[in-house]
């Protein structure tokens, strides 16, 4: 019997290659399986002897599967992984066509094929054994993973899309076993199974990257009316969502316009085609924190026009911190023993915001590419959401997931570095370069690059103008007025106040807080309090000291300590010229991301009840939360979305 089955020869050969212990282990597996080994093939007879199934080892993860009738004639043969449901169904159909099987027999064959493949895997695979936990195979749910053997898996509807970069092959599998034995299955979450996240259900060839972008543009034009530049940027952003996790920073899309201009349609069209698109209206903060942290979707927030609720204020933290992978948002959560534990949420993901107008926050605006929507005069655009639109978007997702799998291993860091070097030559601000580099790196057309640069330069000019009109900008302007005189031709040191520039760290007696505050309050209906003004100066990164010289006219009054580097930086970001004597050469564009918005002096603290962990940072007359960038202005320290106290952000600062 043993010789008939070929087990002796098989185990002898296995012992030679892998040792006696490994051969004994393989022998035990053969004894425990219902299949028999004939001529190097595991065989199993089912359906009352009508069908004999056979499985032999083939290439990695696949088997040579055969089916024979009771008289030994072949009914089907193929090489595939039985976890591939589509290939398995095709194989069973061949058998059914040959033998006229019943539905029950088809189900039996399907189950036996999977079991036979598992047995064949344990017999023919000489690699690492399956990981176990408490004697059971270790199963891990995941929605994306780069396996130890180099394969890449991405969850699609009900299955995994699996790509092998070495062979440039892809397949659809119900589950995957890695080389270390870990068994991966798709995440069993309603967002995946019930259509909350818009995901692919198959893989479809797309041609070249250029052809794929053109197809995205065609889809967008069918349902939207966009200017050519906005059309290209929107198409590239959709493509970018499928590789965004290869970058450390990103920009957002902010669709603005009057009611009826198509903002909602725009955001929905993008969300339907983007990776894991998720459209939300008035979501709870707790759900958004967890969804973004767990699934990193392309988040579409529609009608986000104001921050008049606790949840909206908390969601703004995601918007302000989530442009950078390193930003984490802390939350203090209650434990069963009455204590609290810190939980960190990752807010990093692509985001699309639909709003009536731009936010009042320069910090937020600097993270966005604004798409200006206008009422269309085209009559060919469908007004209602249709099944055809869902079908068109679904077809794109199937192609874009394959694009993701094929391109995930590429060096996008190199493309980003080249884009940054190119953008640095345009005079665009550091923040604009920082967040727009990834998208710019995807642009091939020189004309589109030039238009995008012009768009960013114009946006920078608007932000600079708005910044100069802010309270911080007014303070810097007053300091500049006391230091310099400017006419149409030149800027020189103000001779009335300074014969020469003060020495580093010297107290500027002409820059007293009292004098500056008087200039600020000269024509102001509601005066700024002295204590608040001192905080504003501190928030600009400037130090003050009390004048102690006995012969000073300003004795015992506070004045600004001269810091050429800091002042030079402030003058530059508020577009104020300086004299040739004021030549600061070592001020960098990005010496502090927060300095772009006049922030400094971070101190940690807690909300009033000790539950809400927060960082405070002075900015003008208010205090601001901080999480890898400006989060917003605190009005109080109470948000009760989940019973925990958290900072409430200034509604006016972030009204969109």
Q: Cα separation of 142 and 434, whole Å?
A: 31
145 and 101 both lie in a single domain: no
In a domain, 623, yes or no: no
Domain encompassing residue 228: 219-464
- Examine the fold and report which residue of 558, 587, 616 is the final residue of a domain before the chain moves on: 587
Confirm if 357 and 258 have CB atoms less than 8 A apart.
no
In a domain, 212, yes or no: no
Confirm if 509 and 547 have CB atoms less than 8 A apart.
yes
In a domain, 639, yes or no: no
In a domain, 7, yes or no: no
Q: Cα separation of 62 and 83, whole Å?
A: 9
- The pLDDT value recorded for residue 214 is 94
- Altogether, the residues listed in the chain come to a count of 656
Q: Cα separation of 381 and 262, whole Å?
A: 11
407 and 275 both lie in a single domain: yes
341 and 357 both lie in a single domain: yes
285 and 151 both lie in a single domain: no
In a domain, 606, yes or no: no
Q: Cα separation of 425 and 347, whole Å?
A: 31
363 and 481 both lie in a single domain: no
For 174-216, what is each residue's pLDDT tens digit?
Answer: 999 888 788 999 999 888 888 789 999 999 999 999 999 999 9
For 323-345, what is each residue's pLDDT tens digit?
Answer: 988 888 888 888 888 888 888 88
Percent of the chain at pLDDT > 70 equals 76
Tracing tokens 């060839």 back to the chain, one arrives at: 205
- The pLDDT value recorded for residue 542 is 93
In a domain, 617, yes or no: no
111 and 137 both lie in a single domain: no
- The pLDDT value recorded for residue 2 is 32
Confirm if 288 and 317 have CB atoms less than 8 A apart.
no
459 and 504 both lie in a single domain: no
Q: What residues in the chain have per-residue pLDDT under 50?
A: 1-5, 32, 126-128, 586-656
Residue 51 forms beta bridges with which residues?
46, 69
454 and 312 both lie in a single domain: yes
Torsion, Cα 478 483 485 489, to 10 degrees, reads: -110
- The pLDDT value recorded for residue 588 is 44
| CATH code of residue 341 | 3.40.50.300
DSSP 179-211: TT--EEEE---HHHHSSSSB--SS-----SHHH
380 and 404 both lie in a single domain: yes
For 531-579, what is each residue's pLDDT tens digit?
Answer: 889 889 988 999 999 999 888 888 899 999 999 889 988 888 787 888 8
Tracing tokens 């957002």 back to the chain, one arrives at: 252
- The pLDDT value recorded for residue 187 is 93
Kindly state the helix (H) or strand (E) to which residue 142 belongs, with its residue range.
strand 139-142
In a domain, 353, yes or no: yes
In a domain, 172, yes or no: yes
Kindly state the helix (H) or strand (E) to which residue 177 belongs, with its residue range.
strand 176-177
321 and 342 both lie in a single domain: yes
445 and 302 both lie in a single domain: yes
DSSP 577-629: ---TT-------TTS-GGGGGT---EEEEE-TTS-SEEEEEEETTEEEEESSS
Closest CA to 611 of 647, 648, 636: 647
Residues in CB range of 329: below 8 A, 6 or more apart: 289, 317, 318, 321, 344, 345, 347, 627
378 and 445 both lie in a single domain: yes
- Examine the fold and report which residue of 87, 112, 127 is the final residue of a domain before the chain moves on: 127
Confirm if 226 and 371 have CB atoms less than 8 A apart.
yes
- Examine the fold and report which residue of 85, 100, 127 is the final residue of a domain before the chain moves on: 127
- The pLDDT value recorded for residue 208 is 92
Beta strand segments in 257-361, E:
277-280, 298-301, 329-334, 340-345, 351-355
* Strand 277-280, strand 159-164: pairing: unpaired
* Strand 507-512, strand 558-561: pairing: antiparallel
For 590-648, what is each residue's pLDDT tens digit?
Answer: 433 333 333 322 222 333 333 333 333 333 333 333 333 333 333 333 333 333 333 33
Our count of domains for the chain comes to 4
């Amino acid at each position: 019997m043993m010789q008939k089955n070929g087990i002796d020869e098989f185990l002898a050969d296995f012992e030679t290659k892998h040792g006696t212990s490994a051969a004994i282990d393989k022998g035990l597996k053969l004894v425990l399986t219902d299949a028999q080994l004939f001529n190097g093939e595991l065989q199993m007879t089912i359906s009352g002897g009508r069908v004999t199934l056979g499985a032999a080892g083939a290439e990695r993860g696949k088997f040579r599967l055969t089916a024979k009738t009771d008289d030994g004639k072949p009914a089907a043969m193929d090489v595939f992984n039985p976890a591939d449901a589509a290939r398995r169904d095709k194989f069973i159909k061949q058998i059914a066509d040959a033998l006229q099987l019943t539905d029950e027999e088809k189900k039996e064959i399907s189950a036996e094929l999977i079991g036979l493949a598992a047995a064949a895997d344990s017999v023919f695979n000489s690699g690492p054994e399956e990981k176990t936990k408490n004697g059971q195979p270790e199963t891990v749910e995941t929605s994306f993973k780069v396996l130890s053997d180099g394969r890449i898996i991405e969850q699609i509807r009900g299955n995994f899309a699996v790509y092998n970069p070495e062979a440039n092959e892809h397949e659809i599998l119900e589950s995957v076993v890695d080389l270390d034995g870990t068994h991966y299955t798709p995440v069993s979450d309603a967002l995946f199974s019930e259509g909350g996240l818009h995901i692919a259900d198959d893989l479809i060839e797309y041609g070249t990257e250029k052809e794929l972008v053109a197809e995205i543009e065609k889809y967008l034009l069918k349902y939207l009316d966009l200017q050519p530049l906005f059309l290209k940027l929107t198409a590239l952003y959709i493509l970018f969502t499928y590789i965004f996790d290869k970058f450390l920073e990103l920009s957002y899309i902010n669709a603005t316009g009057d009611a009826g201009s198509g903002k909602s349609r725009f955001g929905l069209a993008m969300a339907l085609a983007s990776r894991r698109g998720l459209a939300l209206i008035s979501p709870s903060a707790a759900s958004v924190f967890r969804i973004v942290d767990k699934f990193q979707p392309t988040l579409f927030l529609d009608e986000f026009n104001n921050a008049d609720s606790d949840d909206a204020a908390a969601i703004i933290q995601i918007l302000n911190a989530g442009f950078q992978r390193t930003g984490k948002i802390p939350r203090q959560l209650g434990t069963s023993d009455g204590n609290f534990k810190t939980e960190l949420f990752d807010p990093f993901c692509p985001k699309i915001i639909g709003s009536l107008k731009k936010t009042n926050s320069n910090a937020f605006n600097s993270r966005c590419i604004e798409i200006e929507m206008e009422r269309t005069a085209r009559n060919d655009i469908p007004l209602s959401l249709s099944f055809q639109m869902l079908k068109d978007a679904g077809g794109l997702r199937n192609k874009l997931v394959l694009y993701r799998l094929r391109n995930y291993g590429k060096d996008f860091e190199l493309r980003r570095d080249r884009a940054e070097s190119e953008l640095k030559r345009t005079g665009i601000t550091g923040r604009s370069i920082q967040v727009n580099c990834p998208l710019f790196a995807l642009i091939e057309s020189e004309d589109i690059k030039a238009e995008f640069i012009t768009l960013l330069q114009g946006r920078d000019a608007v932000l600079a103008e708005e910044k100069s009109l802010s309270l911080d900008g007014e303070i810097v302007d007053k300091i500049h007025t006391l230091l310099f005189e400017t006419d149409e031709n030149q800027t020189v040191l103000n001779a009335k106040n300074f014969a020469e520039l003060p020495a580093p760290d010297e107290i500027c007696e002409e820059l007293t807080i009292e004098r500056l505050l008087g200039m600020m309050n000269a024509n102001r209906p509601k005066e700024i309090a002295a204590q608040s003004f001192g905080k504003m100066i501190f928030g600009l990164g400037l130090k003050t000291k009390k004048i102690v010289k006995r012969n000073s006219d300003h004795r015992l009054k506070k004045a600004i300590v001269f810091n050429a580097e800091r002042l030079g930086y402030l003058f530059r970001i508020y577009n104020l010229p300086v004299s040739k004597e004021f030549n600061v050469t070592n001020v960098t564009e990005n010496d502090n991301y927060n300095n772009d918005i006049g922030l400094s002096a971070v101190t940690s603290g807690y909300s009033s009840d000790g539950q809400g962990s927060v960082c405070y940072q002075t900015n003008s007359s208010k205090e601001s939360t901080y999480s890898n960038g400006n989060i917003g202005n605190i009005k109080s320290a109470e948000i009760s979305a989940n019973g925990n106290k958290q900072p409430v952000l200034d509604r006016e600062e972030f009204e969109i």
